[in-house]
Amino acid sequence: MSYMLLIHEPVGQRATRTEAEGRTAYAAMVAFGERLAAEGRLKAVESLAGLDGAVRVSHASGQAQTLDGPFAEAKEMIGGFFLLQNVNREQAIALAHECPAAQWCTVEVRALAPCFDESHA
């Protein structure tokens, strides 16, 4: 089965690190990803840029809206993800505990699944 580890980090946290601290954190995350890849558990991994260049699009109430970031109400942002394969729920949770980001962020574990199950229609 496939699971995603979503890295939720506080907005602005990256700016509080020294360059050395940032490089150390990034190196730990890269090493974690390389280990998962070597084990055949990694399908994809990416870091995401901060909210400054982000855009939110919605069509709520039939009105097209575009909102440029940063978003004043945002307290957290998705900083990146690991897309896992060939793991069960317990393994995904164990890997989330091993993820270096769990030391400074929240790591959310989500199963990949259809958003609509036709078998219940």
Q: Which two tokens stand for residue 35?
A: 């280990």
**3-class state of residue 45 by DSSP:** strand
Provide Rg for the chain, Cα atoms: 17
List, for residues 77-111, the tens digit of each pLDDT value: 999 999 999 999 999 999 999 999 999 999 999 99
What per-residue confidence (pLDDT) applies to 67? 86
Closest of 40, 45, 20 to residue 99, by C-alpha? 45
Residue entry with tokens 């980001």: 101
Structural domains of the chain, ranges and CATH numbers in brackets: 3-113 (3.30.70.1060)
pLDDT truncated to tens, each residue of the chain (121 aa)?
Answer: 999 999 999 998 999 999 999 999 999 999 999 999 999 999 999 999 988 889 989 998 889 999 888 887 888 999 999 999 999 999 999 999 999 999 999 999 999 998 887 776 5
Q: 47 in helix, strand or coil?
A: strand
What is the torsional sign of CA 81, 95, 107, 50?
Answer: negative
3-state secondary structure of 10: strand
DSSP 8-state class, residue 117: -
Q: Which residues contact 89 (CB under 8 A, 6 or more apart)?
A: 1, 3, 109, 111
Q: What is the pTM of this model?
A: 0.87
